[in-house]
């Protein structure tokens, strides 16, 4: 009895209505395209965005189901409404944008605050990253061309970096008011000793003005509006390469407390010697 039932069930799944062991001439085999769209949506809801996009090419049912709002809303970070209004300048509920389109747009590099900051989502995870240009930082002496200059470069996502020729007192301060999705975050200064350029199609780095960074370490500090603090010291000693120097970490532990003000700094204020030859690109905030 069990065997007969299994055989009959198999024939029905394969689209057969015959009971003699052979498919009916009027039947046709079923496939993924015959799954109900709501069933497909439930399956896709448990997958990562890249997997959803791949499966959307399997059939019309998968393609239609892959655009369901409830799927993509589950992939968006909890602060996505804040990002939609601040970054995409889109104000629901007065107008409508599909959640899939919101996810796609937020995965692109999105500039704000006059192009001095940039935010994006990691495509595979939906986690948020943020970068702050040197032009959005308070740099001691930045208005005096004897010390600092903003120079163009293709090695920065902001197309320009702050270059230090020589100074006694190095102080870089920054702050940011933003909504961060719950999670652990790390803050980095992206720096390079030396001025890079291209010569005959090859990257070269001029180290002539690099000096003073091996005598005393640079000090990095981080604090948040809810009382988190961290600090570290590090010698800048990798000339010719862009390096992300770790400032510290902070935690956002609740979707109800995502708004946070963070302050960060880099200083080397030992006035017994000058420092120079430093490129300051940006500050990076990313999931730890």
Q: Encode pLDDT of 172-203 as tens digits.
A: 999 999 999 999 999 999 999 999 998 888 99
**Res 9 pLDDT > 70:** no
Give 123's DSSP letter.
T
Cβ pair 218, 266 in contact under 8 A: yes
Q: What three-state secondary structure class fits 248? A: strand
Please, which pLDDT band fits residue 96 given cuts at 50, 70 and 90? confident
Classify 55 as helix, strand or coil: helix
Domain that holds residue 16: 2-71
Assign 142 to helix, strand or coil: coil
Residues 58 and 149 in one domain: no
Split into its structural domains, the chain has a count of 3
Determine the average pLDDT of the residues in 93-108. 88
In this prediction, residues 14-32 reach a mean pLDDT of 51
For residues 185 and 111, membership in a common domain is answered with: no
| pLDDT number for residue 169 | 94
Distances (CA, A) of 124 to 53, 69, 102, 104: 11, 18, 15, 11
Give the CATH number of the domain where residue 184 resides.
2.60.120.260
Q: Report which secondary-structure segment, H or E, holds 230.
A: strand 229-234
Instruction: Write phi, then psi, for 104 (nearest 5 degrees).
Output: -60, -45
What does DSSP say about strands 259-268 and 117-121: parallel, antiparallel, or unpaired? Answer: unpaired
Together in a domain, 145 and 226: yes
Residue 240 Ramachandran class (φ > 0 left, ψ -120 to 50 alpha, else beta): left
The answer to whether residues 230 and 106 belong to one domain is: no
Residues 146, 49, single domain; the answer is: no
Tell which of 88, 120, 152 closes a domain.
120
pLDDT tens per residue across span 224-250: 999 999 999 999 989 999 999 999 999
Q: Distance between CA 167 and CA 164 in Å, rounded?
A: 7
> Do 211 and 246 belong together in one domain?
yes
pLDDT digits (tens, 9 = 90+) for 141-163: 999 999 999 999 999 999 999 99
Distance of CA 60 to the CA centre of its chain: 31
Give pLDDT tens digits for 124-137: 999 999 999 999 99
Residues 67 and 98 in one domain: no
Query: Are the C-beta atoms of 47 and 66 separated by less than 8 Å?
Result: no
Confidence category of residue 54, pLDDT binned at 50, 70, 90: confident
Give me the pLDDT at residue 222, please. Answer: 98
The closest of 124, 111, 90, 199 to 159, measured between CA atoms, is 111
Co-location of 149 and 232 in the same domain: yes
* Residue 7 reports pLDDT greater than 60: no
Please check whether residues 280 and 139 belong to one and the same domain: yes
90 lies in the same domain as 146: no
Q: What is the pLDDT of residue 17?
A: 43
Same domain? For 176 and 64 the reply is no
DSSP codes joined into one string, 10-43: HHHHTT---SSSS--TT-----GGGS-HHHHHHH
**What is the helix (H) or strand (E) element at residue 170, kind and residue range?**
strand 170-179
- pTM listed for this prediction: 0.83
Reduce the DSSP state of residue 160 to 3 states and report it.
strand
Confidence grade of residue 42 (pLDDT, cut at 50, 70, 90): confident
Q: What angle do CA 151, 107, 105 make, to 5 degrees?
A: 100
Cα separation of 286 and 119, whole Å? 10
Does one domain contain both 222 and 153? yes
At residue 51 the predicted structure's pLDDT band, cuts being 50, 70 and 90, is confident
Residues making up the chain, counted from first to last: 288
């Amino acid at each position: 009895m069990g065997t007969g039932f299994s055989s009959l069930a198999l024939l029905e799944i394969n689209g057969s209505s015959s009971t003699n062991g052979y498919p009916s001439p009027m039947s046709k085999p079923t496939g993924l395209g015959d799954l109900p769209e709501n069933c497909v949506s439930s399956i896709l809801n448990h997958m990562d965005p890249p997997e959803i996009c791949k499966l959307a090419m399997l059939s019309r049912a998968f393609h239609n189901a892959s655009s369901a709002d409830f799927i993509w809303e589950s992939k968006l970070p909890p602060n996505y409404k804040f990002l939609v209004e601040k970054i995409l300048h889109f104000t629901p509920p007065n107008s409508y944008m599909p959640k899939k389109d919101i996810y796609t747009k937020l995965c692109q590099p999105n500039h704000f605050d006059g192009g001095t900051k940039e935010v994006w989502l990691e495509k595979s995870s939906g986690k948020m990253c943020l970068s702050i240009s040197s032009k959005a930082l308070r740099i001691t002496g930045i208005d005096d061309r004897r010390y600092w200059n903003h120079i163009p470069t293709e090695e920065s996502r902001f197309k320009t970096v702050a270059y230090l020729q020589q100074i006694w007192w190095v102080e870089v301060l920054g702050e940011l008011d933003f909504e961060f999705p719950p999670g652990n975050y790390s803050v980095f200064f992206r720096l390079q000793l030396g001025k890079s350029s291209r010569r005959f199609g090859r990257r070269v780095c001029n180290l002539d003005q690099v000096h003073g960074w091996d005598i005393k370490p640079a000090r990095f500090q981080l604090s948040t509006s809810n009382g988190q603090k961290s600090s570290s010291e590090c010698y800048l000693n990798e000339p010719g390469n862009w390096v992300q120097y770790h400032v510290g970490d902070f935690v956002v532990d609740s979707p109800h407390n995502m708004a946070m003000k963070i302050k960060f700094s880099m200083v080397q204020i030992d006035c017994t010697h000058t420092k120079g030859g430093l490129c300051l690109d940006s500050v990076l905030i990313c999931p730890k």
